[in-house]
Structure 1
Amino acid sequence: MSSKPTLHTVLSPRLLDIYDMPNSIVVIIDVFRATSTIATALYNGAGRIIPVDSVNKCIELGKLTGGITAGERDGKVIEGLAHGNSPAEYPRSFIEGKTLVLTTTNGTKLLHMALNNGASEIVTGSFPNLSAVCEHLLSAGKNVILGCSAWKDRFNLEDTLFAGAVIHNIKKYFTIHCDSSLMAEDIYNLHKDDIYSFIRNTTHWHRLASYGLEADLEYCVTADVANILPIYRNGDLVAHNR
């Protein structure tokens, strides 16, 4: 019997509750664009990010903390919030030392679901912090659940592609008897040399590109441009080991 920890890939939040959260590190994946934005803001010196699952809570916590409120629905800044969900909105000159209160359609919702299901640890991942995620999972030596935020509970390719990238890098250290993980790695291996052109086929690309966000989307599939590990602690996402 293998003593290696296990790794599973959850393709939609709808499937989350059939996996063993309490004994696993859960990686929240929302490539376009929440977890790319989270990594970028922390990499650029944000003090903390408070992920919330509703607009009202975002506004309320923004007032309580003096933080910057941010969130989008359908590619547009939500009325009542100050900023959107673009990584480009959070350069060091703007975000350093500040609190960001963030709500998104898919990623922050999945994070709270994982929390409510008793995940032993929650981190967030996307291509901009691919190496930091892989290094942490290897050093922790615990069971792993790669949680794809999907889009309104529907499977999406970009989150699965990132799960495949993680698996490609760390699989020899894990026991993987999980068809969704095998599929994710196959997708990544098929397209790792043409990611920029491949993502143009995705439904989320077409949805967001129609708002003029192509540069955002290319950034979100660029490896290690914000290579820091966001980890959830006491209600906040903070940079691990900072």
Structure 2
Amino acid sequence: MNSKPFLNTVLSPRLLDLYDISNTVVVIIDVFRATSTIATALYNGAAKILPVDSVPRCIELGKITGGITAGERDGKVVEGLQHGNSPAEYTRSFIEGKTLVLTTTNGTKLLHMALERGASEVITGSFPNLTAVCNYLVKANKNVILGCSAWKDKFNLEDTLFAGAVIQRIKEHFTIHCDSSLMAENMYTLHQHDMYSFIRNTTHWHRLAAYGLEKDLEYCVTPDVANVLPLYDNGALVVAAE
């Protein structure tokens, strides 16, 4: 009898409906830049992050909670919000002890989709918290969905590379009968030593580099620079207890 839990990689939010995600840990992956920013803000002492899927809701919750409103659409700060979706904005001196209300083009949308479809646990992952994600998934010993936020439902490379990095580290603990996982791991293995140059090929790099965000993007593929585990609990992302 096979006692290992299953791991699948979902390459776009459009594909989430094809999977049973009950009794499953769903990892929300939005490398450029939502889940990198979430890990960074919590690592630097944010009290909690409220992920919301619309700008009006973000503004409303900011007023109710006294939190900092932040977000982007198409890579740009949204009018009416106080801050953007750059990890560099959320230094300890700025964010410690505060609530961040965040809305983004892709990542926060997928997070709400996973909740609506009955995921038993939702966490967020990116290279800055790679080890924390891997350790948590092994310890949880549950089925896993690596959920790539993609770009407006279209496949993207950087989220898939992160899924591959996770799989490379934890695959012996899981049953993986999933071609998208196989592809993700192979792609990561091929490019793990030239990530800074490889990501320059991505459409998201060209989109965001046009706004001068190259340093952001390099940070977002640097492992373990914000190694905490953001866990969705009662409406907010908080640092999971050890």
TM bin, normalised by shorter chain, reads: over 0.9
Cα distance in structure 2, aligned partners of 1:103 and 1:6: 30
Q: Please show how residues 69-80 of structure 1 align to structure 2 within 5 Å.
A: 69-80=69-80
CA offsets 1:11-52 (integer angstroms, 9 cap, x no match): 000000111111210000000000000000000000000000
The equivalent of 1:192 in structure 2 is: 192
The equivalent of 1:149 in structure 2 is: 149
Q: Please show how residues 106-117 of structure 1 align to structure 2 within 5 Å.
A: 106-117=106-117
The equivalent of 2:8 in structure 1 is: 8
Cα distance in structure 2, aligned partners of 1:74 and 1:139: 36
The equivalent of 1:219 in structure 2 is: 219
CA offsets 1:46-98 (integer angstroms, 9 cap, x no match): 00000000000000000000000001112221011000000000000000000
SS at structure 1 position matched to 2:45: coil
Cα distance in structure 1, aligned partners of 2:167 and 2:20: 19
Cα distance in structure 1, aligned partners of 2:137 and 2:193: 24
- Which 5+ residue runs of structure 1 have no aligned equivalent? none
Q: Percent identical across equivalent pairs? A: 80
The equivalent of 2:95 in structure 1 is: 95
Cα distance in structure 2, aligned partners of 1:59 and 1:193: 41
Cα distance in structure 2, aligned partners of 1:47 and 1:150: 28
SS at structure 1 position matched to 2:26: strand
Alignment coverage as a number of residue pairs: 242
The equivalent of 1:207 in structure 2 is: 207
SS at structure 2 position matched to 1:133: helix
Cα distance in structure 1, aligned partners of 2:76 and 2:160: 24
SS at structure 1 position matched to 2:70: strand
SS at structure 1 position matched to 2:123: strand
Higher mean Cα deviation, 215-224 or 15-24?
Answer: 15-24
Cα distance in structure 1, aligned partners of 2:121 and 2:76: 31
Cα distance in structure 1, aligned partners of 2:137 and 2:163: 13
Please tell me whether residue 133 in structure 1 is matched to residue 121 in structure 2.
no
Runs of 4+ in 1 over 6 A off after TM superposition: none
Letter in 1 for 2:13: P
How does the TM-score come out when normalised to structure 2? Answer: 0.99
Cα distance in structure 2, aligned partners of 1:173 and 1:241: 22
Cα distance in structure 2, aligned partners of 1:127 and 1:80: 30
The equivalent of 1:36 in structure 2 is: 36
Cα distance in structure 1, aligned partners of 2:59 and 2:75: 18
Letter in 2 for 1:195: M
Letter in 2 for 1:80: G
CA offsets 1:149-205 (integer angstroms, 9 cap, x no match): 000000000000000000000000100000000000000000001001000000000
The equivalent of 1:46 in structure 2 is: 46
Letter in 1 for 2:209: A
CA offsets 1:190-241 (integer angstroms, 9 cap, x no match): 0001001000000000000010000000000000000000000000000011
Q: Report the aligned-residue RMSD.
A: 0.6
